Amino acid sequence: MPTAPYPRRKRVALLGATGSVGDSTLRVIRAHHEALELVAVAAHGNADKLLGIARAFGVRHLALYDETAAAALRAAGPSVLPPGAVVHAPGVEGLEQLATLPEVDVVLVAVVGTAGLRPALAALAAGKDLALASKEILVLAGAHVLAAAKKSGARLLPVDSEHSAVFQCIEGRAHEEVRRVILTASGGAFRDWPFAKLAEATVADALKHPNWSMGPKITVDSATLANKGLELIEASVLFGLRPEQCAAVVHPQSIVHCLVEFTDGTMLAQLCPPSMTFPIQHALLYPSRGRRGTDQALSLDRLFTLEFRPADEGRFPMLRLAREAMVCGGAAPAVYNAANEVAVAAFLAGRLPFLGIARVTEATLAALGNARADELSAVLAVDAEARSFAERQI
Ligand code: MG
């Protein structure tokens, strides 16, 4: 019997198309072109790469965050753009326009940092499913994102590998039967470095991630374990868990992405190779799994070992600070995120030593962590205040 054709392909807007998650998303869309169609792409400022993507996929809606790059692309006009293509506004406005296009079904947000917050909220308000790779958005304004999804009935689909893993392990199970969620951490570039040596860690050292190939911000976050800290906060928001129900464990192989412990003491784990195409495919094709993966599945034909060891909060103070921010609640997670973003940028620019990232974050949390932040406008004000406070500590 011939297979029935899909009634219609799912139409995807990809915000952050030229980054590392963008690359993996394009591979998934290409491999599943019978089910997925790319209709809108946005990037920060890499016009050439964005244009190449738009041409390859016949995309008609483009946006560049950077004003100069957007103006140059618009000026170049029809001679370089795919037929019928439009260049939308620069800045957040253009991202919002793409996220709410009538022809879009699902918006994948893979924008570095928190610039994707307003587009993500706009997408949910317009009833679009949101595939979320930018964890900072949930850390900054988790309650507001959840409320927007609930109001319109749109789905919130995690793209972060650990959260995709938890989503898969708890799907269809009663919330009160989940005792704990344990996220695995590769341990990053400094997994085996003693604390004393971390004082001399360079940018080049921090960017040598053992397992994952990602952008510079998240690779530094992996080296400090701030990435895991942000992910613990993200998990508590996404799955409605108390701080003590969210834990991290170091797992050097990055094959098990989470462990979920249920009330009877049983644990379920999710395993797949350390490639973002697995969680991206899960989010974009959900609730279907698709006929095949983009990357090879794990092979059990040869010996492999899975190791687990406790995460050391003494050596990695950013993990301790994330837990403290989560327990404090209110504005503290947003302050943690803002201070970390500023400190990592300064570290990457050679203006701050590696251990300065935790020092700046701790000082900013001590100063502003107890601020009230119920309204979204108050959260954004605290975010801005934390950024300038952190900058002054550098
Ligand atoms: Mg992750």
| 102 CA from centroid of ligand 1 (Å) | 31
| 386 CA from centroid of ligand 1 (Å) | 24
Angle at 34 between CA 29 and CA 40, to 5 degrees: 45
| 276 CA from centroid of ligand 1 (Å) | 9
Residue 43's φ and ψ, nearest 5 degrees, are: -145, 175
The neighbouring-strand residues paired with 177 are none
92: how many CB neighbours lie within 10 A of its CB? 17
Q: CA 324: distance to chain centroid?
A: 21
Q: Which two structure tokens, joined as six digits, stand for 174?
A: 């009663």
| 374 CA from centroid of ligand 1 (Å) | 27
| 87 CA from centroid of ligand 1 (Å) | 32
Tell me the angle at which helices 226-239 and 216-224 cross, rounded to the nearest 10 degrees.
90
Q: Among the residues of 245-295, which ranges form H helices?
A: 277-285
Q: Which two structure tokens, joined as six digits, stand for 147?
A: 């409320």
Domains located in the chain, CATH noted: 10-159 (3.40.50.720), 170-272+311-393 (1.10.1740.10)
Q: Dump the DSSP string for 113-138.
A: TTTTHHHHHHHHHTT-EEEE--HHHH
For residue 183, give the 3-state DSSP assignment. Answer: strand
Q: What is the pLDDT along the chain (394 residues), one digit of tens a residue?
A: 444 445 689 999 999 999 999 999 999 999 999 999 999 999 999 999 999 999 999 999 999 999 999 999 988 878 888 889 999 999 999 999 999 999 999 999 999 877 899 999 999 999 999 999 988 899 999 999 999 999 999 999 999 999 999 999 999 999 999 999 999 999 889 999 998 899 999 999 999 877 777 788 889 999 999 999 999 999 999 999 999 999 999 999 999 999 999 999 999 999 999 999 999 999 999 999 988 778 888 988 988 899 999 999 999 999 999 999 999 999 999 999 999 999 999 999 999 999 999 999 999 999 999 988 889 899 999 999 999 999 999 9
CB contact at 8 A, 43 and 17: yes
| 145 CA from centroid of ligand 1 (Å) | 19
| 293 CA from centroid of ligand 1 (Å) | 19
| 141 CA from centroid of ligand 1 (Å) | 18
With left for phi above 0 and alpha for psi between -120 and 50, is residue 293 left, alpha or beta? beta
| pLDDT attached to residue 7 | 67
| pLDDT attached to residue 79 | 83
Q: Dump the DSSP string for 265-277.
A: S-EEEEE--S-TH
CB contact at 8 A, 165 and 238: no
| pLDDT attached to residue 218 | 87
| 189 CA from centroid of ligand 1 (Å) | 15
| pLDDT attached to residue 209 | 75
pTM strictly above 0.85: yes
| 253 CA from centroid of ligand 1 (Å) | 14
| 160 CA from centroid of ligand 1 (Å) | 5
| 257 CA from centroid of ligand 1 (Å) | 8
| pLDDT attached to residue 6 | 54
| 4 CA from centroid of ligand 1 (Å) | 36
| 161 CA from centroid of ligand 1 (Å) | 5
| 241 CA from centroid of ligand 1 (Å) | 18
How long, in residues, is the chain?
A: 394
| 164 CA from centroid of ligand 1 (Å) | 9
| 184 CA from centroid of ligand 1 (Å) | 9
| 281 CA from centroid of ligand 1 (Å) | 15
| pLDDT attached to residue 1 | 41
| 142 CA from centroid of ligand 1 (Å) | 17
CA-CA distances (angstroms) from residue 94 to 33, 52, 87, 90? 26, 19, 9, 5
